[in-house]
Amino acid sequence: MNGTLVPWDEATIHVGAHVVHYGSAVFEGIRCYTTPEGPAIFRLDAHMERLFNSAKVYWMELPWSPEQLNEAILETIQANRLQSCYIRPVAYRGFGQLGVNPLDCPVEVAILVWEWGKYLGAEALEQGVDVCVSSWNRLAPNTLPAMAKAAANYMNSQLIKVDAVKGGFVEGIALDSQGFVSEGSGENLFVVSKGRLITPPLVSSVLPGITRDTVITLAGRLGVPVDEKAIPREMLYLADELFFTGTAAEVTPIRSVDRRTVGAGRRGPITESLQKAFFDVIEGRIGDEHGWLTPVPATTAVAGS
């Protein structure tokens, strides 16, 4: 936290911090997986680039470089002796003064690491999940920028998620302000139709997901064509297969939408082959041809711990 390792219980901020009142934070969600060569972080550079992009949108100047934050992430994992974990770097406006203008509030940075299991339930990766289309839309263009992974965006995500859960669904899919399919509360979405993958374009108010990008790359390797284009709601019901992607959700099949069965009502063959390719890469079972894995060096002594 702000350059030093601190015990979990002492990682606190002042209640007057700007972020508490105005949601002024940008963050990342990254995973570290166990591989045959030891723990490795998946696509660290891409996540760090997105963190700095999010900060740029909000005039937040981070007091550390991407390289320094990468080092800090490695050190935090080592200090916690974790083999696999979720990593949450967050840059937020601390206490300076209250009032909307953030510019006089310091930008602070913390990195949390913890073990995080399956995001949408243990069975989800194999069985698929039951979801609904939310009555809430995703962020309209020129309101809250969807390309920035900002804390405030997740107030919208919370509305989507809670409505879904209270309605007996695992997750909600939001439409964009035009009524086209956007994304889940914390996941991007892919439709499989007639052997092709279709995913909403960035203009449909989606986060430029790193798992989304990974799946597009892996689909290319498997010879599955990918289109980024607007998706009408009913295509969700008529799809052969449907799945979510995200760091937390990984590649999770969707078996029903609004109580209509999707395809055969279970994980489909294209989803399964992409899922396998994904886990083979992230768990280091096949060559890392894109340089996506950052090994976490084993260490016995950690500076500052």
Q: Which element (helix H / strand E) includes 294?
A: strand 293-295
Burial-class residue 58 by CB neighbours within 10 Å (0-12, 13-18, 19+).
middle
What is the closest distance, in whole angstroms, from the C-beta atom of residue 212 to ligand PPE in the complex? 6
Residue 246 binding ligand PPE, by CB under 6 A: yes
Span of 52-60, 121-129, 245-253, 279-287 interacting with ligand PPE by CB under 6 A: 245-253
Residue 247 binding ligand PPE, by CB under 6 A: yes
Nearest to ligand PPE of 105, 185 (CB atom): 185
- C-alpha distance from residue 244 to each of 41, 134, 229, 251, 262 (Å): 21, 15, 16, 6, 13
Contact assessment for residue 91 and residue 109, using Cβ atoms and an 8 Å cutoff: yes
Binding to ligand PPE, residues 47-86 (CB under 6 A): none
Nearest residue to 204 (alpha-carbon basis) of 224, 184, 218: 184
Nearest residue to 110 (alpha-carbon basis) of 91, 86, 82: 91
Nearest to ligand PPE of 63, 114 (CB atom): 114
Residue 25 binding ligand PPE, by CB under 6 A: no
Q: Which residues of 36-154 form beta strands (DSSP E)?
A: 38-42, 85-93, 107-114, 129-137
Give the residue, chosen from 94, 102, 186, 253, that forms a contact with ligand PPE under the rule CB under 6 A: 186
Binding to ligand PPE, residues 192-211 (CB under 6 A): 207, 209-211
Give the residue, chosen from 18, 29, 105, 190, that forms a contact with ligand PPE under the rule CB under 6 A: 29
Residue 245 binding ligand PPE, by CB under 6 A: yes
Nearest to ligand PPE of 205, 256 (CB atom): 205
Alpha carbons 74 and 68: distance in angstroms, whole number: 10
What is the closest distance, in whole angstroms, from the C-beta atom of residue 246 to ligand PPE in the complex? 4
Contact assessment for residue 156 and residue 146, using Cβ atoms and an 8 Å cutoff: no
Q: Is 149 in the active site?
A: yes
39: Cα within 13 Å, side-chain hemisphere? 23
Give the residue, chosen from 188, 205, 256, 275, that forms a contact with ligand PPE under the rule CB under 6 A: 188
Per DSSP, helices labelled H in 147-293 are 153-166, 210-222, 233-238, 269-282
Residue 134 binding ligand PPE, by CB under 6 A: no
What is the closest distance, in whole angstroms, from the C-beta atom of residue 216 to ligand PPE in the complex? 11
Number of chain positions touching ligand PPE (CB under 6 A):
16
Nearest to ligand PPE of 188, 256 (CB atom): 188
Nearest residue to 244 (alpha-carbon basis) of 304, 150, 302, 169: 169
Nearest to ligand PPE of 104, 280 (CB atom): 280
Per DSSP, helices labelled H in 232-300 are 233-238, 269-282
Alpha carbons 28 and 35: distance in angstroms, whole number: 22
What is the closest distance, in whole angstroms, from the C-beta atom of residue 304 to ligand PPE in the complex? 27
Give the residue, chosen from 70, 187, 239, 243, that forms a contact with ligand PPE under the rule CB under 6 A: 187
Nearest to ligand PPE of 173, 239 (CB atom): 173
- Interaction site with ligand PPE (CB under 6 A): 29, 157, 183, 186-188, 207, 209-212, 245-249
Any idea which residues carry the catalytic annotation?
149
